[in-house]
Each structure stands twice: as C-alpha cells, then as structure tokens.
Amino acid sequence: MELPSLVQASGMQTWTWAGENSNGTELIPRDLFFGDPDRYRILNSLDGKWISFMAPYNDVLNVWIAPLYDLSSARPITNDTFRGIQGYYWAFTNRHILYVQDKDGDENWTIYSVDVITDERRNLTPLEGVNAQLLSTSIKIPHEVLIGLNDRDPSYHDIYRFNITTGEKKLVQKNEGFSYFVADHDLKIRFAANATPDGGEEIFKLLDNGSWEPFIKKEADDDFTTWIRGFDTNDTLMYMVDSRGRETTALTATNLTTGDVQVLVDDLPANIDAFIVHPKTGLIRAVAYTYDRRKWVILDQSIEPDMELLRNTLPEGDVNVYYYTLDDKNWFLSNTQDIGPAHHYHYNRSTGEVRFLFSERSRLDNLTLAKMHPVVINSSDGLRMVCYYSLPVGSDEDGDSLPESPLPMVLLVHGGPWSRDYWGFNSLHQLLANRGYVVLSVNYRGSEGFGKSFINAGDRQWGAKMHDDLIDAVNWSIERGIADPDKIAIMGGSYGGYAALAGLTFTPEVFNCAVDICGISNLTSFLKSIPPYWLPEIEKEFRRIGDYRTEEGRAFLRERSPLTYVDRIKKPLLISQGANDPRVKQNESDQIVQAMQARDIPVTYLIYTDEGHGFVRPKNKLSFYAVAEAFLAEHLGGMCEPIGDAFENSSITVPTGAEGVPGLAEALKK
C-alpha cells in the first residue's frame, strides 16, 4: 500500500520584492514547509527485517513499517487520529515498537507497545497526570524495559521494570531524591545523580549492598558538558563525554573493573554531538562535532572506507549515520543539505550499494530554495559566535553572499537557551526567505556545542549580554549591507520568545516588530511554575537564570523580566501560546498581554487550546504561520500567502488584537 498524498501539485504563484534589482521568484505555499512531511524519522529492527518511519495516516503522523527492500508494502501500525505520534523506538525483540503520546501537549507521557506482527497494542503506563520516561532497553533482555514513573511523588521518578508483551511491572529502584539514573545492558541501575547547591552535580555509584558511594563530582562549569554516554554490551566499559580539565568535550572510556580511564578523543574545535556505535559490541566507532558544519572523527579504522564511500557517493551535505542491523551489514543514514529536505538512504556494507529510500518533503526537491550561509560574528566583548543567514533567492546576483541592496530581516532566536542552531534545511528560514526576508540565526553565548566557557558565559545574562550578542549580530548585518535597519523583526519560541519580548522592551529602537511564541515575560513566575519533575535540578536553574529565594534575587529577576518594562513597547507584537504548556505556562503570555491592555498598547494574542510548548499539530502550525507571515508582511513589507482556509481544523483562538493583522478577523469568521 502506497502512502497517501505523497505527490501533489504545489500551486505556486509569482511575486517580486521591492529592491533596487528586483527579481521574480515563486511563492511557495506554506504547507510545503509546515504540513506533515512525506516520511521521516526512519528506524529499523535490529535483525534488518523491517524499517519504520513516521508518515501521515488519518491526517496525522503515525508509525509505518515496511520490509527493508519493499517500501511499496508499507503499512501503518499505529492509528492515532488527533495529535499524531510524538516519538517511537524499536524494542530488541525485533517485533515490538514502543511509542509515546501525551494529552494536548501536557508532556505527561504515556508509553505504548505495539506488536508489528499481530498489531496488538498495549498501554504500559495507563496513569493520569504521570510523566512516564523510557530509561533503558536491552539487547540482552529484549522483552523488558526500564521506565521511570513519578506517580508516587511528582518530583521524582521511581524506576520500574516492564515486560512489554504482558505489561507486568516490578519496582527496581525507589527514588529517594535523585535527579536521574543510569542503567546498563542488564537493566541494572549503576549510577544516579543529584544537583549540588552550587549548580553542579554529583554522580553516585550503586554498590552491591544497595548503598551509594560518590563516583564523580561535576563542578557547575562542567554540568552541561560532562555526562555518561553509556556502556559497551559487556557492561565493563563506561563511555563519558567529559569537559573536566578541558574546554571542549572529550570522549573517555572507563574500565569499570580496574578504574582505568582512557581518553579516546580530545581537543576538538567543538563539543561531541553524535556517535556511530557497533551494534553488537556497543563500542563507539566514531564521534561527530559541529562547529559550523558536522565533521566525523573515526576511532574504528575499519569503517573509514565506508565513511569515505558515503562522502564520495552522496550529494554535498552533512552525512549522519544513525542506525544499523545487528550483523553490521546494513546502515541507515541521512544526508542533510541546506537547499532541500533531508534524504534518507540504506547502505549495504557487503555490496557497497547506497540505496535512496525517500525524501522527507519530496515536493520541495525540485524547487529553488535559499542557501544557508555559515558565518562567525564577533560579539562586542570578543566572543566568536557561529551564525547562519539565508538570503532570498535571486537577491545575490554576483554571488558574493550579500544582497545587491539591504533587505528586510527577521532575527530568528533559538530556544533553550541551552541549545543551538545548525546548518541545514530549516523550514522557517526557507519560508521567510521565500517571502523576501533575510533570515539570521545567532548562536549567542549560552548556546551549547562551542565549549564550556561559551555556554557558561550565558549564566545570569538573560536580557543582558545574551541580548547584547543578538544586537551585535544585527549591527553586523546592517554594517555589511545585508539588513535594512528600518525593517528588522525579532522572532522566536521559548527563550527565543523571551528574546522577542526583550527586543521590544530592552532595545525598543532596534526592531520594527516582534513575534513571541510561548515566551517568558516574568522570570520569577516562570521559575516558580516549572514542572515538579524539574525541581530536583532547580539549583541549576537558579545558577543559570537567577534565584527568587532572596529579595536581592527577586530584584535581579525583575530587572531582567520584559514585563517590568512593558511601558517601553512601541512596536507591533504578535504573541502565541499553547494553553497546556507545562514549561512556560500560559500565565507568562497572559501577564504581558494584560499589562499591555491596561496601558492601551496594542497586541495580537493567539492561544491554541490543544497545544503545549510549541506546535505539534500541523493544522495549528499552518494557522500560526499564516498569521505570522501576514503580520510580518504588514510591518516589514515582504510578501505573504493569504490566510485563506489555514484555520480549518485548527484550535486557534484570538482573545485580543485580531484587527492588528490583515485578514485575521475575516479568517476567524469562516
């Protein structure tokens, strides 16, 4: 059975943007960027009999399986009809898939098991209001898994051993106060960790008598960049990613019998962020790091010819090897590019054949999309920030990576803030570039991946030096004739939403408008309302953001909260919020909207009643980006696709400000 609706006519239109050297280009419908992908997240059973992927079914994403060499026989093995499946894994039985779902974005995950032969589905964790976490699966004990449940105490996860075929569970570790546990391939708890009062972490080793002894102490500066990666299959070797005593992370291997530690990889330009692991032995064969582009470091020289073959065979891009069969004869990989969606491949190591499997968004494959340019921008105090910008197609006639004249720009700020932007295909970059905007993404201080000094430089710098970094990047784009200084927007989600609010309150003269998606407006109320299972690590939040437990700390957080400066908002603001967001509660958006209304400051406020932290349902994504591109077109002068029927089957509500976006009030009446 072939997947439904994999090929459709795009219905593109033609538009031009204003500029000294205008060029015609095609307006690409937003559903090509934000509708469901054709297929993505490919996995495989370890025996190589099945491959699986997520694809639309019932108009939402479900899990499909197919024989390795017969994609035409793919069939769905989940049957969700509303939000779609949020994540899934193969069990080592080679016939069971584990998948997770929550309710309307509340992140109270439920874990299911489905037999791909009989289609029998079992809810392993049928508990209301409980956040279930899959801790470990095992090649040695294929029918069992470890799952953490916070049903006894919302702040702590006890560890249970589940039989995925019968649903039987047994308590293996009551949690008396640990942040997390680490288990081996025998499904035995080996280590546990606790945050220290200074924001660091202490890792403890479980002894045979059931007691715990200190094993590793991580200072706060190494907290984000030192962690246990896992074990070899014999559970005698423990791998760690470790920044202690160095700037970027190393890969180390500890012999758990002798205690000897071997440094396998060290002194890289950026932190380790991906691995190739032997499927049978569990030995790490290669690691990757990403400064501006991904690069691989080979540890097992037997795979060097394979990596060389892949580099020479695949189109220009970044190669990511992610899964393998137990016999190590079949690899599954993707090729990331900037001017098109990811392509997935099967590599047969015995024959050397690289077989194309599918494109994630095939309707984009033959379109001319915007290149993403990596660049290093210096902050005003000397930090080197890896950034990426995209130019509208046709705006760089001489090929010097600069537009022929300055263009409107959207500064797109990533969330976290302890995450990062990468080179590659980015739907939002492409949508905005297609509408005539330069798009700039900045790895500001606090972003991960660039060494521990860089990430720690963001401590307690919300709304201060982290925001200065964004302004430095904006100034760089203006100085080089990339951005029109009178037409710059700031946009982002989570921390990026906070940055958007900070843009209109801390630097109101810089930005022409802002788009905030589930952003934080009041740092004190945000920290007081985090999910209970984050509380074991609250000292880390206090160190990184600020501490409300003292009057001095509360004053500091007020100083860094956009809500404090709401009177400064003079430019148009679009706010979007999920009603069930457990991380950034709706109150964060409500507070600033109410404060603006009390001062007669216009604001457009969107609430999605069936979303949490960001957008999951494609219908909601499409409705939001329809509003966002109309809002940006009104204030930056770019082009936009009409809202049309984008609200169909979306949960969008607009409590206030519908008149602030062209076409919004009319669309709500349909």
Whole-number Å distance between alpha carbons of 133 and 146: 9
Q: Output the CA torsion 546→547→550→556 (10° steps).
A: 20
- 206/213 Cα distance (integer angstroms): 7
From the candidates 613, 623, 635, 650, give the one annotated as an active-site residue. Answer: 613
36 is catalytic: no
CA gyration radius for the chain? 25
Fill in the DSSP letter of residue 28.
Answer: P
Both structure tokens of 340 = 């098109």
Indicate the pairing of strand 212-218 with strand 227-231: unpaired
- Among residues 45, 179, 441, 494, the one annotated as catalytic is 494
Distances (CA, A) of 363 to 427, 429, 435, 465: 13, 17, 18, 41
Task: Name the one residue in this structure whose structure tokens are 């205008």.
Answer: 22
CA-to-CA separations, 30 to 306, 522, 558, in angstroms, rounded: 38, 33, 38
Sheet holding 96-101, edge to edge: 87-90, 96-101, 110-115, 121-123
Residue 613 known to be catalytic:
yes
- 429 catalytic? Reply is no
- Please classify residue 328 by burial: count the beta carbons closer than 10 Å to its beta carbon, then call 0-12 exposed, 13-18 middle and 19+ buried: middle
- By 3-state DSSP, what share of the chain in percent is helix, strand and coil, each rounded to 5? 20, 35, 45
β-strand 513-517 against 483-493: which pairing, if any?
parallel
Given 31, 306, 581, 610, the catalytic residue:
581
CA 101 to chain centre: 17
Residue 73's identity, in one-letter code, is S
DSSP letters, 569-625, are: --S-EEEEEETT-SSS-HHHHHHHHHHHHHTT---EEEEETT--SS--SHHHHHHHH
Tell me the catalytic residues.
494, 581, 613
